[in-house]
Amino acid sequence: MGDRRPGALPAVLVVSGGEVRLTGDWTLGALSEVLTRVRLALAAAPAAARWDFGAVERLDSFGATLLWHAWGARWPDVIGIAEHQQRVIQRVEASAGRLVPRTSRFGAIDAVVLLGGALLQFRTHAVAFVALFGQILLDVVHLLRHPREWPLLEISANVHKVGVKAMPVTALVGFLIGVVLSYLSALQLKIFGADIFIVNILGLGIIRELGPVLVSVLVAGRSGSAMTAQLGVMRVTEEIDALAAMGISRTLRLVLPKVLALTLAMPLLVLWTSSVALLGGWVSAWVELDLSLGFFIETLPTVVPIANLYIGLSKGAVFGFLIALIACHFGLRVRPNTESLSVNTTASVVSAITMVILVDAVFAIATRSIGVPT
């Protein structure tokens, strides 16, 4: 115990009569091994004792703080103390009690302040979001007038990152959802002998509703968080300030390529995921209801009006635009610390998914009379 360092002596105190004799090393390293015992002994020391430091080898500020607290923050009778040890304790004395903890109580007024703060916060978010949206539109106008400035390389790199690289995971999830949806529906349809309606259910459900929403949730978690984190770290490392200092618009070079890329890539991802989900649905229907692939493909266009595909794809584009814009909005609000980065990344993903579902509801109402077979 504590003997690993050469010459280390465990801290010991001996009480005899009115005198407390300290020996050994009163340092953090030596004390931490025997701390419980030392604390008990310190507590048991008589109040008016004389403290003999004659045999103390080393004393550091931790040991001094321990003694100072045991003494009740005042000097007792001390003998045999070396000058440098006395200085250590004097330093503790000088700063002890100067750090007053800030206590915070949560009262009724704080609740009102908190609520008001949250509302104002929401307002600043809304204003900044609209401003970012407006800036993007201005950038597009600028680019239409100066076609040579299109950040094509960034857009293409982003399409690859958010689109092509997302294909495996969206396919896997889409396929499994298709299988599950089809299997559960087939069980019910079999009871009514309405087997062939499986094509209607899968076609309408996946192409119009499930495909776009499913892809949006995946993309918000996958690419939205990545965009927020990337912009956030660029804020932390002052890269965005460096861009501004070069007179390069951060929205034009950083935000616009991401937003455009995701707006372009999302409909394609929706098409891809919906197709794979339909395939999964067919596999399940084939196993469960013995439905042939030829029949499935033939029936699909007759029972699902083509308008549903257009609705699904345009939903994809709108959702992609929103996810990217929300991700960039939160990314640009990151302050240079790790906590802010995590708060904003979380907020980005949660807001994006909530927004997608809200807008999906708006879509459902707006398109309620389009593409639904009556």
Partner 1 sequence: MNGLPVVSLRGIVTRFGSNLVHDGLDLDIVVGDIVALVGGSGSGKTTLLRHIIGLTRPAGGEVRLFGEGLRDGSIHDRIARQRRFGVLFQQGALFSALSVGENIAFPLKELGVATGAELRDLVALKLAMVEMEPKHAFLMPAELSGGMIKRAALARALALEPELLLLDEPTAGLDPDRSAAFVRLIRSLHRELGLTVVLVTHDVDTLAALATKIAVLADRRIVSLAPLEETLQVDHPFIQRFFLGEHGRNALSRRNRNH
How many CB atoms are located within 10 Å of the residue 232 CB?
A: 26
Q: 102 or 148: whose CB is closer to partner 1?
A: 102
Q: Tell me how far, at minimum, the Cβ of 102 lies from partner 1, in Å.
A: 6
Q: 301 or 336: whose CB is closer to partner 1?
A: 336
How many CB atoms are located within 10 Å of the residue 281 CB?
A: 30
Q: 16 or 36: whose CB is closer to partner 1?
A: 36
Q: Where are the alpha helices (DSSP H) in the chain?
A: 28-31, 35-44, 61-70, 83-95, 108-145, 152-162, 167-192, 197-204, 211-219, 225-236, 239-245, 250, 256-289, 293-303, 307-332, 338-366
The two three-digit tokens of residue 291, written as one number: 């439905």
Q: 237 or 302: whose CB is closer to partner 1?
A: 237
Q: Judging by beta carbons within 10 Å of its beta carbon (0-12, 13-18, 19+), is residue 145 exposed, middle or buried? A: exposed
Q: Tell me how far, at minimum, the Cβ of 217 lies from partner 1, in Å.
A: 29
Q: Tell me how far, at minimum, the Cβ of 277 lies from partner 1, in Å.
A: 41
Q: Tell me how far, at minimum, the Cβ of 369 lies from partner 1, in Å.
A: 52
Q: Tell me how far, at minimum, the Cβ of 32 lies from partner 1, in Å.
A: 5
Cβ partners under 8 Å of residue 223, min gap 6: 161, 162, 166, 262, 323, 324, 327
Q: 91 or 165: whose CB is closer to partner 1?
A: 91
The two three-digit tokens of residue 306, written as one number: 């083509």
Contact residues toward partner 1 (CB under 8 A) are 4-6, 27-29, 31-32, 35, 60-62, 65-66, 68-69, 84, 87, 91-92, 94-102, 335-339
Q: Which residues of 84-113 are buried (b: 16+ CB within 10 A; e: fewer)?
A: ebeebbeebeeeeeeeeeeeeeeeeeeeee
Q: 56 or 179: whose CB is closer to partner 1?
A: 56
Q: Tell me how far, at minimum, the Cβ of 335 lies from partner 1, in Å.
A: 7
Cβ partners under 8 Å of residue 13, min gap 6: 20, 21, 22, 23, 38, 41, 42, 45
Q: Tell me how far, at minimum, the Cβ of 360 lies from partner 1, in Å.
A: 35
Q: Tell me how far, at minimum, the Cβ of 7 lies from partner 1, in Å.
A: 9
Cβ distance 151 to 243 under 8 Å?
no
Q: 290 or 339: whose CB is closer to partner 1?
A: 339
The two three-digit tokens of residue 344, written as one number: 């904003």
d(CA 260, CA 277): 26
Q: 292 or 338: whose CB is closer to partner 1?
A: 338
